[in-house]
Amino acid sequence: MHVKRYKTILSPKNGLNLYRGCTHGCIYCDSRSRCYQMTHDFEDIEVKEDAIAILRQQLLKKRRPCMIATGAMTDPYLHGEKQLRLTRQSLELVAELGFGVTLLTKSDRILEDLPLLQEINRETKAVVQVTLTCAEDALSRKIEPRVSVTSERVKVLAACREAGIPTVVWLCPILPFINDTPENISRLLAICAAAGVKGVICFGFGLTLREGNREYFYRQLERLFPGMKERYIYHFGDRYDCRSPRDAELTELFHHSCEQQGLWHDNHQLFAYLQQFESRHQQLSLF
């Protein structure tokens, strides 16, 4: 872990990036790609110096409160968060200044911040987003080795429901020849419905590979799934978009199953929902 000075913590679209790099070890991680120009080892986490003070300045400059989103590039609950508490402190700031928040994670460490998320959700809006890829814990442990397995993430969804915090699931990536089965997708959607998830974000069935993440992914395939690297090279060459041969079948299953179970499945609708700031006081004053 090392510290670096940054001028900003919030992106122009209100994405919050407290750390660079990640310790969760997902074999397919796109954030390893060279295009992100990381100059340090991916596991050597870069911690942004004075992140919370800079975030405060940036939030205070906003003309009106909005949704702050974190988790797109790095899981906000990586291992160092236990000591550093930067995600916790940023949530405290969001609560203090009356903003809304949404977090995307694969870690059940978020449960420690549930009371704070509840507090934010009482005043404005907090949404928890969880990634699910494998119905079976054993496969989840294999491809996402250092983060909560699926059953632990399902407990996060259940706890959020109990706490009145809305949830959204990301169903991606689905790796060709590994977790791209109708059984896996059906089971995951049933889990989402049972957990009262609002909707499921899905970009089709496959994964993206480019310089940086491809090399890492192939090394992990060689180690974990003998013969699979050769299968990928045969089917996809050096393509960026590696679609499952079952993409069409799974896409139909996905939309049909979501529709039947009352899960939102339109990405535009879901992203609009995640970006829509809501103040409970404004809502009450309408009445």
Q: Which residues bind ligand SF4 (CB under 6 A)?
A: 22, 24-26, 29, 31, 74-75, 106, 147
C-beta closer to ligand SF4: residue 147 or 168: 147
Q: Based on CB atoms, which residue is closest to ligand SF4, 86 or 258?
A: 86
* Minimum gap (Å) between residue 122 Cβ and ligand SF4: 29
Nearest Cα residue to 102 out of 124, 132, 80, 133: 124
Nearer to ligand SF4, 22 or 201 (CB): 22
Q: Shortest gap between Cβ of 24 and ligand SF4 (angstroms)? A: 4
Are 95 and 116 in contact by the 8 Å Cβ rule? The answer is yes
Q: Name the E strands within the chain.
A: 2-4, 15-16, 19-20, 46-48, 67-70, 100-105, 126-131, 167-170, 199-201, 206-208, 241-243
Comparing CA positions, the residue from 253, 236, 237 lying closest to residue 245 is 236
Residue 76 CB, shortest distance to ligand SF4, in Å, is 10
In whole angstroms, the minimum distance from the beta carbon of 221 to ligand SF4 comes to 16
Nearer to ligand SF4, 22 or 126 (CB): 22
Phi and psi at residue 231, in whole multiples of 5°? Answer: -65, -40
- As a residue count, the chain comes to 287
Q: CB nearer to ligand SF4: give 36 or 271.
A: 36
Q: In the Cβ-directed half-sphere of 259, how many Cα atoms lie within 13 Å?
A: 6
CB 247 within 8 A of CB 204: yes
From the CB of 210, what's the least distance to ligand SF4, in Å? 14
